[in-house]
Amino acid sequence: MIRQRLKRRWLERPVVYPDKHAGRTVLRTAVVLTVIGALLIVVSAYLSREALKRYLSPPPPSPPPWQTELVKIQAVDQLVSRLIASLSLTDDQISRKQFARKDGELEWNEHFITVTLAPETSLHQVEHVQVRTCAFHDTDGLRADTVYESDSCLHITITMGRHVTHQLFFHLAPPPLLPEKQKPPESPYRVALVIDDLGENYQMFKKLEALQVPITYAILPFQTYSVKIADEINAKDCGEIILHLPLEPWNSYNHSINPGTLLTSMNREELRENLERNISAVPHLAGVSNHMGSKFTEDREKMGLLLETLKDRNLYFLDSRTSKKTVGSALAKEMLLKTARRDLFLDSTHDQQFVEMQLQKILPLVQRRGGKLIVIGHPHQYTINALKQYLPSLKEQGVAIVPLSELVQ
């Protein structure tokens, strides 16, 4: 009875079947988690590899020193522009020139900037603005050297490292012109003062420049400061530049022969090639004079080849007359080339007293020679001392120092 009752209860229990949808959900979830896990493993492996690659890769190469220096020089250009802009200048107050420079791989431009200041601006104000601008632009290796070249001219040289980048010349505004009727009369006597053998001694050039007269500077080629002196004269417009061309002397074994010397033994091609090289060695030329050349200037054929090239280049010729038999100036006139010849040597003897005696000859000589005279000296201290002493006296006597180009014919 009991068994029958239990059997009936068992048969009467409801049958529970498994849920197919629930199984599929579990399976799908497992697959998704497996895929996500695999992706995470792949991404982690990629990131680890990239990090290891960056760690093991060598650092990028640093730029070469010349490139770093060039960037600094370009920054100096911005500094100078800021300095000029702070002075509120107009374009007609500023004159700019630039010259290519090279030091190994480094190439840059050296700028010569000449500024005429407004009447209300002083040189001390310019110096103050320069100091303030450079302090604001604190760059390693930057240096600005300030020199008062006169009461009316401030010269600032800006250097980056060991390279000069800018030469700035600030001039006070000139005083107002005198009324026409008060203009001083023109000097009746004009003298060209030619100083030979420039190029090796820069300090002597600066002393000559301080005389503040328009000297004609005869610069030797291939000397240490030949180009620098020529560039500075041109930038300041403080004189005239001619090439002091080395020519062959007699008894050459007794003389120190300069680089680039033209020899009578050279053929036409050699002469022209060497002459062109000499001319290219000194910029801003107005003319050419001979250095030594007692033998060469007597040779009509060789002088003809030389003067032919000068005529093509529109350069005048000054005959220094190192030989009494020179054909230089006479042949130049035949060829219709502008020329002149030396009238007086100041310092053929190395003695200041002798130079002073020669300077005393200038007035009577210029009076006898139609108001024109060409005088040649050299960059010696005793010559400069004598010039400093006698130039004011010559001016009082109506003698004006003029560029040689005003006297060549």
pLDDT digits (tens, 9 = 90+) for 93-148: 888 888 888 888 778 788 888 888 887 778 888 777 777 777 766 667 778 888 88
Confidence of residue 69 (pLDDT cuts 50, 70, 90): confident
Confidence of residue 7 (pLDDT cuts 50, 70, 90): low
Predicted confidence at residue 98, as pLDDT, reads: 83
Predicted confidence at residue 236, as pLDDT, reads: 93
Predicted confidence at residue 156, as pLDDT, reads: 86
Helix residue ranges, H only, 313-351: 328-334
Does 153 score more than 90 pLDDT? no
Lowest mean pLDDT among 11-25, 64-78, 109-123, 211-225: 11-25
In whole angstroms, what is the distance from residue 82 CA to residue 167 CA? 15
- Is pLDDT larger for residue 347 or for residue 184? 347
Query: Tokens 């003695």 identify what position?
Result: 351
Residue 407 · residue 340 · CB < 8 Å: yes
Q: What is the pLDDT of residues 265-293, one digit of tens each?
A: 999 999 999 999 999 999 999 999 999 99
Beta bridge partners of 166: 111, 158
- Is pLDDT larger for residue 57 or for residue 28? 28
Does 184 score more than 70 pLDDT? no
First to last CA, the chain: 160
Q: What CATH homologous superfamily does 186-406 map to? A: Glycoside hydrolase/deacetylase (3.20.20.370)
Residue 264 · residue 310 · CB < 8 Å: no
Dihedral of alpha carbons 276, 281, 284, 286, sign: negative
Residues present in the chain in total: 409
Query: Tokens 């006898």 identify what position?
Result: 368
Burial of 177 (0-12, 13-18, 19+ CB in 10 A): exposed
The residues, any chain, with a CB within 8 Å of residue 140's CB and separated by 6 or more, are 72
Residue 132 · residue 86 · CB < 8 Å: no
Predicted confidence at residue 385, as pLDDT, reads: 94
The CA–CA distances, whole Å, from 391 to 183, 306, 357 equal 21, 35, 13
Does 218 score more than 90 pLDDT? yes
Confidence of residue 14 (pLDDT cuts 50, 70, 90): low
Predicted confidence at residue 58, as pLDDT, reads: 57
In the chain, % helix, strand, coil (3-state, to 5) comes to: 45, 25, 30
Q: What is the pairing mode between strands 106-116 and 142-150?
A: unpaired
Predicted confidence at residue 113, as pLDDT, reads: 86
Plot region of 291 (φ>0 → left; ψ -120 to 50 → alpha; else → beta)? beta
Helix axes 381-396, 352-360, angle to 10 degrees: 20
Helices and strands of the chain, counted as H and E runs:
12, 14
Predicted confidence at residue 55, as pLDDT, reads: 55
CA 117 to chain centre: 23
Does 314 score more than 70 pLDDT? yes
Residue 235 · residue 112 · CB < 8 Å: yes
Q: Apex CA 149: angle with CA 177 and CA 229, to 5°?
A: 105
Q: What is the DSSP letter of 60?
A: P
Q: What is the pairing mode between strands 399-401 and 189-198?
A: parallel
| 176-203: average pLDDT | 80
Instruction: State the chain's mean pLDDT as an integer.
Output: 84
Which residues of the chain does CATH 3.20.20.370 include? 186-406
Confidence of residue 381 (pLDDT cuts 50, 70, 90): very high
- The two tokens of residue 97 are 């020139």
| 333-353: average pLDDT | 92
Which residues of the chain does CATH 3.30.460 include? 65-171
Does 320 score more than 60 pLDDT? yes
pTM of the model: 0.59
Question: Does the structural domain 65-171 have CATH classification 3.40.30?
Answer: no
